Homo-oligomer: A and B are copies of this chain.
Amino acid sequence: MEFKKPRTIYDQIADHICENILLDRWPAGERIPSVREMAIQAEVNPNTVTRAYTSLQELEIIVNQRGKGYFVAADSREKVRKMKRTEFVQEDLPALVKTMELLGISPDELADMIEMARETRKDFEDETER
């Protein structure tokens, strides 16, 4: 797992979990990796993972069962989808529009760029699957 700078690591770990929930890899009720497992997997300090899990617990996206581990909460998928969608509309979208204006990228041009990026992405995924 790789991390990018402007976002904190624990936020990125939380994102990663939300991603798995959104993609239905981790359905409601599923046990997610323990703090230690996740720390090893992400090559990160357990403290950092704990922060990520705690924040998701506060959002009621995962729940903790003492001695058993963390589990995906009921309805978590819809909850995450709403949250992320709100975030997207309120933060990412305005930033995108502003960047488009500044760089003179038209909606059509953006559509083309997205199409290209999707293909690149698919190629990449095909490659990694092998």
Report A's interface with B, CB cutoff 8 A. Answer: 6-8, 19, 22-23, 45, 67, 81, 84-85, 88-89, 92-94, 96-100, 102-105, 107, 110-111, 113-115, 117-118, 121
Contact = CB atoms under 8 A, between A and B. Distances in A.
Nearest to A112: B107
B102 A96 contact: no
Q: Is the interface of A mostly helix, strand, loop or mixed?
A: helix
27 contacts: A6-B6, A6-B8, A19-B102, A23-B102, A45-B67, A81-B103, A84-B99, A84-B102, A84-B103, A88-B99, A88-B103, A88-B105, A92-B96, A92-B99, A93-B113, A93-B114, A93-B117, A94-B117, A94-B121, A96-B96, A96-B114, A97-B114, A98-B121, A100-B114, A107-B115, A110-B114, A111-B111
Nearest to A108: B111
Given A6-B6, A96-B92, A103 B117 contact: no
Given A85-B103, A97-B117, A97-B121, 18 more contacts: A6-B7, A19-B102, A22-B102, A23-B102, A81-B103, A84-B102, A88-B103, A88-B105, A89-B117, A92-B96, A92-B99, A93-B117, A94-B117, A96-B96, A96-B117, A97-B118, A100-B114, A107-B114
